[in-house]
Amino acid sequence: MLDNNSGIPLYLQVYEKLKLKITGGLWPEGSLIPAETSMMKQYGVGRETMRRAVLRLVNEGYLFRQQGKGTFVCRKRPQDGLEQIVSFTAEMLARGYKPGTKVLASLQQKPDPSTANRLN
């Protein structure tokens, strides 16, 4: 379920899975999410990892906490439009990676007659 060898911190992997449950409608708006201890067992992570994932969703406005009651899915998720679209490069830089491109191979060849006719 989670990949310890991916280079992506576990809390971010859990965050993505929980966010998908929210945006995919598995956890409807206004619903109480499972207890952190239950999710810790489900994903096989520790308390701090789960807390960081949930806190990020709270900070981004996907979840809210109510003392003595639990954590709930927000009724209106913030900026679910174009404002949230981030380039791959920006996302990887934010995660501490150094993205780039590299040409692995380049080849130029003449097409066969059938392909040449379709291209014209």
Given a contact cutoff of 8 angstroms between Cβ atoms, the answer to whether 50 and 40 are in contact is yes
pLDDT digits (tens, 9 = 90+) for 81-114: 555 566 777 766 666 678 888 999 999 999 999 9
Confirm whether 108 is domain-assigned. no
pTM: 0.62
Half-sphere CA count of 41, side-chain side, radius 13 A: 4
Range of the domain at 76: 10-94
Token duo for residue 70 = 């639990």
CATH of the domain at 82: 1.10.10.10
Task: Please tell me the total count of domains within the chain.
Answer: 1
Q: How far apart are CA 23 and CA 42, in angstroms?
A: 19
Q: How many Cβ atoms sit within 10 Å of the Cβ of residue 56?
A: 17
